[in-house]
Amino acid sequence: MCGRFTLRVSARAIAEQFAVFEVPPFTARFNIAPTQPVPVIRLAPEQAEPRRELVWLRWGLVPGWAQDATNRQPA
C-alpha cells in the first residue's frame, strides 16, 4: 500500500497551531510508512467541554475483509 508522508513541523509548532497544551516531544520524520505510529490531533472523547488532544495512532488502512489489523490475507 502506498501512502507515505512526512512530518516536518516541530511538536511546539503543532501545540501552538492547534492550541494543544500537552504535546510530547518528537522529531521530524521524512518517510512515514503505513503501520507506523503518527501524532494525530483529535477532540478528546467523552469530555464535558470539548478540547483537543494529541494522540499516537497507527497510520494505514485495514481492509474490510481483514479479521483484525494483523490479518493481511482474505479469510
Q: Of 56, 53, 57, whose CA–CA distance to 15 is shortest?
A: 53
Q: What is the pTM of this model?
A: 0.73
Q: Where are the domains of the chain?
A: 5-58
Per-residue model confidence as pLDDT tens digits over 5-63? 999 999 999 999 999 988 888 888 999 998 899 999 999 887 788 889 999 998 888 77
Write out pLDDT tens, residues 37-52. 999 999 988 778 888 9
